[in-house]
Amino acid sequence: MADMLPRFSVLNFGHLDAREEAQLQPELLTEGYFDYQNAAYGLSTGNTWGILGPKGSGKSAVLENLRLTWQDRHDRFFEYWDLSNFPIADVAEITQDISKGPARARTSWEFLLWLRVVESLNNDVGASLSHEFVALFKRLKRAGFIGSDWSVSVNRWTGGGLGADLKLLQGSLRFNRESVTTLEVSSDLRESVIKSKTDSRHLIAVDGLDSFFFEVSDQWTSLAGLLSAMSTVNHALRGAGLPITVAVAGRSDIIDMVPDPETNKLKEHFIYLDWHLNGIGAKNHLWKLVSTKAAVMHPQVRDITKQYLGRKIVAGELGPYHDISQIILDNTRLLPRDIVALLSHLQKVHTSEHPVHPEKVKRALERYCEEYFIGEIFNNLAGILPSNRARELSSFQDALRASPSRLFTMDYMTTELRGELEPSEIKKLLKQLFEVGGIGVKSGEHTDFTFRRTSGGAFTTRGKFMLHDALTRAWNKPWRDKS
């Protein structure tokens, strides 16, 4: 029959990494893209300046969707700027004509962002560009400010090399003095851009901030400068009526802690990819995401939960759960990356006809928890301690694994790790573990995880911590507190 459902094992739910998916199966990010919270639409219209969410929430997927859908259009220009290996702390040192601090960081980032805007506009053959713009672009390219590896350049610029490079711009616009500052260059870049005209949509997408832990003040200062510069540039572009936007993708917990009072004003332009809406059952939008991807190759697939996971559950067959969709989501952090990983493990053990049997779900959960979840959680702790402290980080994980139940305290951890880790280091690791969803904070009858805050609680070491369901299952912990 034409409408006969394919086996569950042959469905394609996508890849764990959006960039890999874009390379191997781009149609999953175009035809099979589910635009949660209208994030891609917001960026495409210029109303959204930031996509926020934890690692694995789909921020890069939003950017890849736009890159792929725009690549063959003459009126769409997408510039991707990956900062994952960029010396962001050093950016604040580029500008030598302003004293250290937020102002210097903002000025340096404005300089770099305007360069990105100029580069994007120059690629727009339909744009109306002045002779001054064309001449400036040529000088920028000749001086190495366009089309070069800025990661290398920043190191040279912080050592005083910027002044020498800026001298190469003399003769264009008003750069005729003995010395030229980044403030002056940014001003002329801005003036040159806002005199331009285009009907095409441009997006400069800044990504890669998830790889930073922002443990030193210079990184925080630089990040605050980036956000402030982004706001300044976007307001200037909007004021000039230009359809050009600079947008950032980053972790929501990091943006919330940026030490800049102006950052809060930016939030009206941000979209949060928070997937906890509609709970952990079949109505959660994560099921729409995976169903939409599966339908690319198999249009008969409309709803994974109804068509494959809808088997009637006998009381006690899945513990306290009433249906398969609940137990699956409860063992994730309500992130696209987690559900794709879990469904992939389920496909390996369920190769027969649908619907999926609960026993196969239990077996898949065991593999997912042990082979994926533990590594995914603890990989996010790398960088909290220096690289030569790998043994101590392993001891931290062992202490969690050795806890008598899924509930434990700060006192338990400090006792177990005495002589290896200081209490302040343990607290840092626990806070990061909380931020990535590995543990929750228990407050009375409620337990707050970052992805599902039932009482609105924040991180604290005063009460008890609870291991995530997947860690509890992986380490075979008792599910109830015996104290």
Q: Convert the pLDDT of each residue in 11-24 to its tens digit.
A: 999 999 999 999 99
Percent of the chain residues topping a pLDDT of 70: 90
Asked if pLDDT for residue 178 goes beyond 60, the answer is: no
Asked if pLDDT for residue 482 goes beyond 50, the answer is: no
Least confident span in 30-39, 285-294, 438-447 = 438-447
Q: What is the rounded distance in angstroms from the CA atom of residue 152 to the CA atom of residue 141? A: 16
Asked if pLDDT for residue 264 goes beyond 90, the answer is: no
Under 8 Å between Cβ of 412 and 400: no
Q: What is the pLDDT of residues 302-346, one digit of tens each?
A: 999 999 998 888 878 888 888 999 999 999 999 999 999 999 999
Among 250, 196, 337, 221, smallest CA distance to 59 is for 250
Please, where are the H alpha helices in 46-168?
A: 59-70, 88-91, 102-122, 131-142, 150-156, 162-167
CA atoms within 13 A on the CB side of 18: 22
Q: Give the pair of three-digit tokens for residue 37.
A: 């919270």
In the chain, where are the structural domains located?
A: 35-272, 277-373, 380-474
Number of H helices, E strands in the chain: 22, 9
Predicted confidence band at 2 (pLDDT cuts at 50, 70, 90)? very low
Q: What is the rounded distance in angstroms from the CA atom of residue 114 to the CA atom of residue 79? A: 13
Burial zone of 370 (CB within 10 Å; 0-12 exposed, 13-18 middle, 19+ buried): middle
The pTM for the full model equals 0.91
Per DSSP, what are the bridge partners of residue 385? 382
Per DSSP, what are the bridge partners of residue 307? none
Asked if pLDDT for residue 403 goes beyond 50, the answer is: yes
C-alpha torsion sign, points 50, 296, 348, 7: positive
Least confident span in 183-197, 223-237, 389-403 = 183-197
Note if the bond before 355 is cis, omega within 30 degrees.
yes
Under 8 Å between Cβ of 110 and 189: no
Q: Give the pair of three-digit tokens for residue 167.
A: 């001298």
One-letter amino acid identity for 75? D
Q: Give the pair of three-digit tokens for residue 356.
A: 């999926």
Q: What is the rounded distance in angstroms from the CA atom of residue 289 to the CA atom of residue 376? A: 21
Per DSSP, what are the bridge partners of residue 78? 203
Helix (H) or strand (E) holding 270: strand 270-272
Q: What is the rounded distance in angstroms from the CA atom of residue 181 to the CA atom of residue 458? A: 44
Q: What is the rounded distance in angstroms from the CA atom of residue 144 to the CA atom of residue 240? A: 28
Average of pLDDT values for 293-297?
97
CATH code of 380-474, in short, is: 1.10.10
Per DSSP, what are the bridge partners of residue 202? 77, 244
